[in-house]
Structure 1
Amino acid sequence: MATIEILGVPHAYELTAPTSCPYTLVFIHGWLNSRGYWQPVISRLSDDLQCLSYDLRGFGESQSLPETDFSRGQTSSDLTPSSSSTLNSSFDSLYTPAAYAQDLAVLLQQLNIKNAWLIGHSLGGTIALWAAAQMPECIQGVICINAGGGIYLKEAFEQFRSAGQRFLQVRPRWLSQIPLIDLLFTRASVARPLERYWARQRVIDFVVADPEASLGTLLDSTTEEEINRLPQLVSQLKQPVYFLAGANDKVMEPKYVRHLASFHRLFQYCGDNVIEIPDCGHLAMLEQPDAVANHIRSIVNVQESVVNSH
């Protein structure tokens, strides 16, 4: 593990060795997760594709320094986000997907990565879409995993936000020490029970996540404005965008994945850009790592062939 400081927060990351492929795959985890969840997929790809995984600010090992008082405005001049007013209005909070995309822009800049494919899980998929809009010259394509949406259902989202806040209130540090607590997490949001190792990791990530970041990302990513902006964002992206959906995903059902995917030009002009993975819930990279890795490799290889043919 290495760290890079971004806006006063040390960010933990892992970068595999360069390969002959011109692209780096950048993996972005979801809410209350960490970079480790990508390891089963990265281990299947890293021989021929360079892979970068990192912990989002406030999660995993990317935790704020207590004495740090930072302002996002101090660094915005170093970046080249889109001039779109809708992008700029999303930097007001530290915990919007657009703000996390700005963190990613700094990370790629510091690591001198100029050619990247973004692979984002759940909330990480939304962050990847924002990053693609902010850095069109650097981001070659996006693969969203268990990510979609773009329909604001007022009652459902209010219930989700309320349940999420209650969920976050029950997070004492000793929770991870309760015998068999991980058994609850083996079955949460997956089609088949996870291995105990990953269930234990989910408990740890749940407990150690920064309270402000946990609540901030929950609330700022589920506002009516944020949800309604997603289809517009996808429709404006020039890069290819693919979606991997879990056929049994109860958190992000395939119909909502297809809805968001339908706004991208790839869906309209070049066929279906949604790939449904059978017998898979909301954690595809843990439940079906072979399928996820194979789809990623196939998508990147096809797009590289298209670029080379031109």
Structure 2
Amino acid sequence: MMATIEILGVPHVYELTYSTSSHLTLVFVHGWLNSRGYWQPVISRLADSFQCLSYDLRGFGQSQCQITTSHIERTNVMVTNDGGMSGNPFNSIYTPAKYACDLKILLEKLNITSAWLVGHSWGGTIALWAAAELTNLVHGVICINAGGGIYLKEAFEEFRSAGQRFLQIRPRWLFQLPLIDLLFARSNVARPLERYWARQRVVDFIVANPEAALGTLLDSTTEDEINHLPQLVSQLKQPVYFLAGANDQVMEPKYVRHLASFHPLFDNCGDNVLEIPDCGNFAMLEQPDAVANHIRYLINQNKLGIRI
């Protein structure tokens, strides 16, 4: 069912499938400029075994309103106790830590007490932050097309400025341009997406809240934020797995392996990294069978006490 719940003054749209015999809920966190719908091909393959929650992150998809700093900063947030970052990661309302705080409130309001988090790209970073905050509730994390943790100054400065230019060309009439969806069908994937998903990418690109789109881009790519990621992963007590697209040009497998290597499950040879052949940066759309099978296998193996 699709429903709306208010979190810190911002309405969040979510979908929650029916309960199953499993006590676990799979919580799916989408990536930058995307929305909850991208998870449907995977959820449709898993909903018979697990209750599945997907939602639109603040400022994206249908979780929209006039977002202001006062909305978000009225709450008392728990800062993780590792003290690893210079400065407070909660100072801005668009850091992954702040979005993890939104997720914490969402799970509390929905009375979800036992979950695995599945995050795509930027959503993977949010899932890692949430796992650090919710050690008793979150039993494991699966990051999809997510990695990094190496700050390369020139590369990130170029990425940030390119992202800002990209965000400046978002007129509503863009969707009316002939064949615009074909451009989005071929962007960052190994093989072209179905036109339905290409159109959805155009819609999500256009409707994203301008402040949220820019704020999340800038706050997720600071030197502090990037350098803190390996420390965050190394301190997580839960199992953490990474699904990489073999042909991913955005988050190349070597960068996925780099971040994964800081978790104990990496075990010197990458035991917590699974590479999906013929797959780019949208694994859940390009290879939904493989993604769903990996998720089911990893959770079931951990349920049996076997760490992969």
Asked if 1:258 corresponds to 2:257, the answer is yes
SS in 1 for 2:49: coil
Structure 2 residue runs of 5 or longer lacking an equivalent are: none
How far residue 178 of structure 1 moved from its aligned partner, in angstroms, is: 1.1
- In the TM superposition, 1:130-141 aligns within 5 A as 130-141=129-140
Match of 1:89 in 2: 88
Match of 1:72 in 2: 72
Q: Is the 8 A contact 2:31 2:122 kept in 1?
A: yes
Distance (Å, rounded) in 1 between the aligned partners of 2:79 and 2:110: 18
SS in 2 for 1:91: coil
SS in 1 for 2:81: coil
User: CA-to-partner distance for each residue in 1:106-140, whole Å, 9 max, x for gaps?
Assistant: 00000000101000000000000000001111110
Q: Is the 8 A contact 1:8 1:70 kept in 2?
A: no
Match of 1:144 in 2: 143
Q: Is the 8 A contact 2:33 2:204 kept in 1?
A: yes
Q: Is the 8 A contact 2:9 2:72 kept in 1?
A: no
Distance (Å, rounded) in 2 between the aligned partners of 1:81 and 1:275: 31
Distance (Å, rounded) in 1 between the aligned partners of 2:23 and 2:94: 31
- In the TM superposition, 1:3-18 aligns within 5 A as 3-18=4-19
Q: Is the 8 A contact 2:96 2:126 kept in 1?
A: yes
Match of 2:33 in 1: 32
Q: Is the 8 A contact 2:12 2:57 kept in 1?
A: yes
RMSD: 1.7
Q: Is the 8 A contact 1:82 1:135 kept in 2?
A: no
- In the TM superposition, 1:176-187 aligns within 5 A as 176-187=175-186
User: CA-to-partner distance for each residue in 1:230-256, whole Å, 9 max, x for gaps?
Assistant: 000000000000000000000000000
Match of 1:117 in 2: 116
Q: Is the 8 A contact 1:151 1:227 kept in 2?
A: yes
Number of equivalences: 305
How far residue 74 of structure 1 moved from its aligned partner, in angstroms, is: 2.8
Q: Is the 8 A contact 2:30 2:121 kept in 1?
A: yes
User: CA-to-partner distance for each residue in 1:204-240, whole Å, 9 max, x for gaps?
Assistant: 0000000000000000000111000000000000000
| Structure 1 residue identity aligned to 2:209 | D
Q: Is the 8 A contact 2:10 2:71 kept in 1?
A: no
Q: Is the 8 A contact 1:35 1:53 kept in 2?
A: yes
How far residue 73 of structure 1 moved from its aligned partner, in angstroms, is: 3.9
Question: TM-score w.r.t. structure 2 length?
Answer: 0.95
Q: Is the 8 A contact 2:189 2:282 kept in 1?
A: yes
Asked if 1:292 corresponds to 2:291, the answer is yes
Distance (Å, rounded) in 2 between the aligned partners of 1:119 and 1:202: 20
* Residues 210-219 or 270-279, more deviating: 270-279
Distance (Å, rounded) in 2 between the aligned partners of 1:170 and 1:72: 27
Question: TM-score w.r.t. structure 1 length?
Answer: 0.95
Distance (Å, rounded) in 1 between the aligned partners of 2:269 and 2:166: 41
Identity %: 73
How far residue 72 of structure 1 moved from its aligned partner, in angstroms, is: 3.3
Distance (Å, rounded) in 2 between the aligned partners of 1:147 and 1:158: 19
Distance (Å, rounded) in 2 between the aligned partners of 1:306 and 1:270: 20
- In the TM superposition, 1:154-233 aligns within 5 A as 154-233=153-232
Structure 1 residue runs of 5 or longer lacking an equivalent are: none
Q: Is the 8 A contact 2:261 2:270 kept in 1?
A: no
Structure with bigger helix share is: 1
